[in-house]
Structure 1
Amino acid sequence: QNSRRGNSRTPPVVVRFLIFFDFDETIVDETSDDQVVQTAPGQHLPAWLKDTYQPGRYNQYMQRVLAYLAEQGVTESDIRGVMEKIPATPGMLNLFQFLRARPAQDFEVVLVSDSNTFFIESWLRRNGARQLFHRVLSNPATFSRDGRLVLRPFHAHDCPRCPENMCKQVIVRDYVARRAQERGRPYQRVFYVGDGANDFCPALALGPRDVAFPRRDFPMHKLITETHEARPGEFKAVTVPWESAEEVAQRLRKLVAE
């Protein structure tokens, strides 16, 4: 039966390019985890709570922060309201408009972020951008019956560079491999738009035809520059730094026309 159904399907649109976006300080001009603190009493967290943070275990720390906020009576709509107001980075909404206006076979757009699904979905829906994204790959977050936003790790991995709940390189490699298998062919090019140190790791997986778009003078850009100097040839992708996402749109326009 499956094979009969398979034969009657119209062939899927084979998309030419895959573009990944980070969220915090890439799509939005702030860090969503910092912004949620605005919902706390006095808009700050108590010192005892901040002191529980341990390097590499940020996800667990945020789980405690969200539990504390729920205890203080912070509601789902309080959190959503704060997320919806985060400003986009310069030019980002124009870049989204450009991507939306392209034919379906040009870009598959994926969001990969160490924030969480509730923060991200709240912002995307408010800004009319949810439909643009084929997938949102982030730490799962859902509200429990008692009104607490419960955060879970995205996955487990062995990468020494990344926090234990998320290695974006593992996510990017798995996604690209799975989609190539489903499509029966690879993408012509893969793009990655990011800013942080955890965006450098996935960008290392890009090949010489791919393009890394690091936000200018942010950690991802600095790490790429340092790698080029210290270990030439290790970072393979073309690098296009940006201050406004308009610069990303300009480069994509050229690549699509090739």
Structure 2
Amino acid sequence: MPWNSLMDRMMKELHSQGTKIEDIVAVLKRTPIHSRIIQAIKSAHALGCDLKIVSDANVFFIDTILKHHGLKECFSEINTNPSFVDEEGRLRIFPYHDFTEHPHGCPHPCPPNMCKGIVIERIQASLSAMEEKKTIIYMGDGLGDFCPSLKLGDGDYMLPRKDFPVWDLVCKNRSLIKAEVCEWSNGEEFEHVLLHFITKVTIDKSNTNGNNAIQLYSDCKVQTMPGSSHQAFSQTLYVPH
């Protein structure tokens, strides 16, 4: 069962046990995000970068977390699984791609509900109509981030999180990736690497034509919640297969 389908079923079970949407929001607000990652996002936005999210999470989770940390306005686009709170107060989560009627057919390790490579190709097509070539900096850590890394071209940058699934795939298939690759391991390294490449691209483009154009794409997922967060969902949860 795809992760987002499992999450939808979990939300149904939690709702049936009396968990309110406010309880879910409270847990999401306690989701840890490294302070340097928050600062890196704000810095990139302040420098004029166009930040977009490509994520296998869902709209409700991402919106809630971004708003809580004051980051929502930093992103121009969020590509993720749709979700909404229904009339009964239950959070519903749906697939980005309708894999039952129209499977994406990607040969890479993308989940059936979302191929991030297809999303990146769509964005690249919209950028190709512009006179100036855009530089893409893509950051991610999951298996689903390997496919979009294959779509990047010369002059783009792929920043995989070291010792995470996408890093392993990138290392094993380095010859297939045209973009420059640079790993990161924690919040401090994330900030350092990201701002380094933004500065590099800015200088290169200023020397070429005096115009900056950087597109930043980031996988965004809810991290494992700390023990204190689990206390909000103290009921036993059984999810049938």
TM-score range, shorter chain: 0.7 to 0.9
Match of 1:240 among 168, 173, 182: 182
- On the 8 A contact 1:214/1:242 being kept in 2, the answer is yes
Shift of 1:146: 0.6
Whichever residue aligns with residue 142 of structure 1, its letter is F
2:137 is equivalent to residue 195 of structure 1: no
Q: Distance in 2 between matches of 1:251 and 1:94?
A: 16
Q: Percent identity?
A: 31
Q: Hey, what does 1:89 align to over in structure 2?
A: 34
CA distance in 1, matches of 2:12, 2:26: 18
Q: Give the aligned partner of residue 139 of structure 1.
A: 81
Where does residue 59 of structure 1 map in the other structure? 4
Structure 1 residue 186 displacement after superposition: 5.3
Show the counterpart of 1:167: 115
1:90 Cα shift?
Answer: 5.8
8 A Cα contact 1:214 1:239, kept in partner: yes
Match of 1:204 in 2: 150
> Distance in 2 between the 1:89 and 1:177 partners?
33
Q: In terms of mean alpha carbon deviation, does 211-220 or 116-125 score higher?
A: 211-220
Alignment of 1:100-119 (within 5 A): 100-103=45-48, 107-119=49-61
- Once residues 17 and 131 of structure 2 are traced to their aligned partners in structure 1, the CA distance between those partners, rounded to angstroms, is 51
Aligned to 2:101: none
**Does 1 or 2 have the higher relative contact order (CA < 8 Å, sep 6+)?**
2
**4+ residue runs over 3 A deviation:** none
Structure 1: which amino acid aligns with 2:120? V
TM-score using structure 1 length: 0.71
TM-score, normalised to structure 2's length?
0.76
Deviation at 1:240, TM superposition (A): 0.9
Q: Which of 30, 54, 70 is residue 15 of structure 2 equivalent to? A: 70
Q: Distance in 2 between matches of 1:185 and 1:82?
A: 45
Alpha-carbon distance in 2 for matches of 1:196, 1:91: 20
SS in structure 1 of the partner of residue 183 of structure 2:
coil
CA shift at 1:76, angstroms?
A: 1.3
Q: Which amino acid aligns with 1:77?
A: E
Q: How far did 1:125 drift? A: 0.3
For 2:34 and 2:150, the matched residues in 1 are separated by: 24
**Structure 1 residue 71 displacement after superposition:** 0.6
Q: CA RMSD in A?
A: 1.5
Counterpart secondary structure, 1:91: helix
TM-fit CA distance, 1:118: 0.3
